[in-house]
Copies of this chain bind each other. A is one copy, B any other.
Amino acid sequence: MNILYDENVDGVLPRVDKQQLLSALEADMPDLTVLSRHEDLRPYECDGLSAYRTVPLLVLLPERIEQVESILRICHRLQVPVVARGSGTGLSGGALPLEQGVLLVMSRFNRILEINAQGRYARVEPGVRNLAISQAAAPLNLYYAPDPSSQIACSIGGNVAENAGGVHCLKYGLTVHNLLQVEILTVEGERLTLGAESLDCPGFDLLALFTGSEGMLGVVTQVTVKLLPKPQVAKVLLAAFDSVEKAGTAVGSIIAAGIIPGGLEMMDNLAIRAAEDFIHAGYPVDAAAILLCELDGVESDVHDDCTRVRQILIEAGATEVLLAQDEAQRVRFWAGRKNAFPAVGRLSPDYYCMDGTIPRRALPGVLKRIAELSSEYGLRVANVFHAGDGNMHPLILFDANTPGELERAEQLGGRILELCVAVGGSITGEHGVGREKINQMCAQFNADELTAFHAIKAAFDPSGLLNPGKNIPTLHRCAEFGAMHVHNGQLPFPELERF
């Protein structure tokens, strides 16, 4: 099939007539907030992945859905690319602007429209912050489960676009598992309702297709999320190990025993020391790795599971197992984990956060191989991650002011992601592909699979105006990326032989 858009954005996308666009917007919506001066645009040049920066042509800040419709219609008529953005906390450059495109900022849509206890849902505008939903539902003893680290700031529209995860995904699922209905506008400004208030919906599952589509299929205008009853009790166990492999093995054993923890997180020594130094969480700083295992539910159930998990941890070789004695200690244990990224940030001028998934059984081997790659590239790697669902976040430490270090960090990151694919995992767990991992998509999918993605994209957006250059690489790019690998004299997956 024909590829109808190309991700080599700035080289290929045609130049936009900025004056014509401004006039069209002004004529249609005199009250629309439009930013066009360089100093006003500058704060929008990147999202949470600041390694990539592009100042957009214009920033638009609509306040009514009708304005979003008009913006999309005008951009479609003038063939202007559109990048939608919420709070801009994404970590893969999914909301990276285009030099020749508008940035459509949805943050002013921040109203909670309905909280319904009997239907167990919340209906909200896309700019509502993730945590604000749980706060609004708290008086009914309900909450919204997916909890990305950025939950104080990130918006639900962005969560839908990126299929955001979080510490509790292992038990409660990703964003896609916690949605009932999403309203979107197509590239032509048509309103579509995806999903239903009920459990199932006939026709193709466009709600799931749209979730995680990274702004390539439409713009989110309303979201209905499922709410869950708050667990009665949550307890946290902290286990120390003298090797990361043993900690990795323990993770598999807990799951294989039929226990589904609310959260099951791992940190290695570098991350432990950084977090302890920053937060004073009470972590054992000499451990090679720690596991944090949260068990939630009703009192007696949690009590039983704590006993079973403790036993499994000891059998797996834990040198120490601590149960948080009260809520203050539980919060402190988690604070170390939740602040691990900024804590590691204090160790090094820059760090590069990876986000790959692997089957749990591959955990010990992959951690060993990452340590080897770390030595090979001469860059420290801290591991902090959602071990229970095999979602790894290796943090590669580097100094962008040292010539060549950024490139080395990117290469090492690429090797780690390819390692994830080689053992049967994937190149992103919850951060998305965005601009950052577009080359690694070539390692993840074959030409037939990529062609299917392009066909889906073309079905929704044939001229490729929505967020071009993200998420799905062209076959041309993959051919080039593959060639690069051969050029370096390496097989695409040298790691495959090891597993």
Contact = CB atoms under 8 A, between A and B. Distances in A.
Interface of A: 117-120, 141-142, 163, 165, 169-170, 173-174, 176-177, 186, 190-193, 196-206, 208-209, 211-213, 217, 229-230, 252, 255-256, 258-260, 297-301, 304, 357-361, 389-391, 424-430, 432-433, 437, 441, 444-445, 448-449, 452-453, 455-460, 471-472
4 shortest interchain CB distances as A-B pairs: A208-B208, A229-B258, A455-B459, A198-B357
Contacts of A170: 199
Contacts of A212: 200, 202, 204-205
A437 B202 contact: yes
Contacts of A458: 459
B202 A165 contact: no
Contact of A460 (B163, B206, B455): B455
Contacts of A425: 196-198
A163 B199 CA distance: 11
Given A197-B359, A199-B389, 13 more contacts: A118-B256, A174-B199, A192-B452, A196-B424, A196-B426, A197-B425, A198-B429, A201-B426, A202-B428, A203-B433, A204-B456, A208-B209, A209-B209
Contact of A441 (B193, B203, B299, B455): B203
Contact of A117 (B169, B192, B256, B441): B256
A297 B358 CA distance: 29
A208 B120 CA distance: 23
B120 A255 contact: yes
A201 B427 CA distance: 8
Contacts of A208: 176, 205, 208-209
Contact of A190 (B259, B260, B300, B448): B448
Contact of A118 (B174, B360, B471): B360
Contacts of A304: 298
